[in-house]
Structure 1
Amino acid sequence: MKEDVSVESVGSESDIQALIKKLEFLERELADHKDQKKTERRQYFLFVCLVIVTVFLFVVVAWANPTIGDLEPDTISTLNKAVNVVIVLFVPFVFGVLGAAARVLIAGISTGQQLGLIVSSGFMAVFSWIGIKSGVLIAVVAPHLEKQAITSDQILQAPGNFYTLALVAIFVGMFSSNLYIFINQKVEQLTVRRNSEGAGGSR
């Protein structure tokens, strides 16, 4: 009977110590959570104050200089071009998204899980469209085109120019998503191989 009582007392003491350690851990977690909340509130308060000060300064400057809001013709022209460019670039974005979505579907991956990849591939298609329309890529490949007696003006003014650029946007979207999927699959394979080798070595 005495041995049973001593064993039970030892077990109860270990349980109490484990419970005390768990409570101390929870207290630390709660303190860290409170500190994090305070930091977030402080950052939010500073951001709100910064916005209020900025708006106040803008109102004061506008009141002191009534003509500060007048736009020059060059500014209006630049804004007009920027709006037109944004509208035009929506087209390659759509084509890039379609190409990336097609590649993701071919890989058998859920499009909902790879939404960020699809959208970023659309932006890559936009960047490629800008490079082509700006003439930068044409300047890079111009020496190769001149060997075949093809000028950059002929390419840009070709009847199928829009369809060519649309096809380029689709290919860029597919290539961007394909590159990410390829790298991700290689990383997963290496991780599985390393885990299997570690499990085999531990045995």
Structure 2
Amino acid sequence: AIVGVVWLKEKVSVIEWAGILMVLAGVILVSIAGGGKTAVLPAGSYLLIFFVAFSLAAAAAFLLGRVGISIEFSLALSAGLVFGLANVAAKLMMMRFEAEIGSADLFQLAAVKSILTDYPIILVVATNIIGSIFYQTAFANGRASIVASICTIVGNTVPIIAAITIFGEQVKFLHGLGIIIVLVGAFVLAIGNRQTWRRCSP
């Protein structure tokens, strides 16, 4: 956001700044809380539900433009959610690889074969491609300060939610507080973005 404002001379409203800072504060709170090294491989059904739920959320975000939300916000949100799923898929890929090989050493033929022949690699590639399409389209139709902020923060929030809900990491008070602040911040940012979009519309 700072780069967009300082170097690209973009205008970000006070409400949008408040939303960005609230979401960032929420992510920081969850990161500080940590989850310990308690992650376990999730059951297939839980993993499927998580990916379907967040895929539907990304699709819903894509359609926000029909209810008065700007393209830069809706597509950036979709991109962030999909990139977040890419991070979750990458974590799943590494956990399955370590469980199969019994080592975190990537510099061995068995490791390469394990990664390239397991299904998470397909999820990683597909989500990164789709996320990139959303991201570049959002950039082409919006402000870098808003697009980059939303995409980066949401993309980091999804793996945190996954760690707590499907990877079995310990839930702490700061986790819940941080996620609530993220949701409130996203709502504030959406309101600010909608007001800015209305002012700029002819």
Q: Give the TM-score of the pair, scaled to structure 1.
A: 0.24
Compare CA radii of gyration and give the structure with the larger one: 1
Hey, which of these two has a bigger chunk of helix by percent? Answer: 1
Flag the structure with more relative contact order, 1 or 2, with Cα contacts below 8 A and sequence separation at least 6.
Answer: 2
Q: Give the TM-score of the pair, scaled to structure 2.
A: 0.25
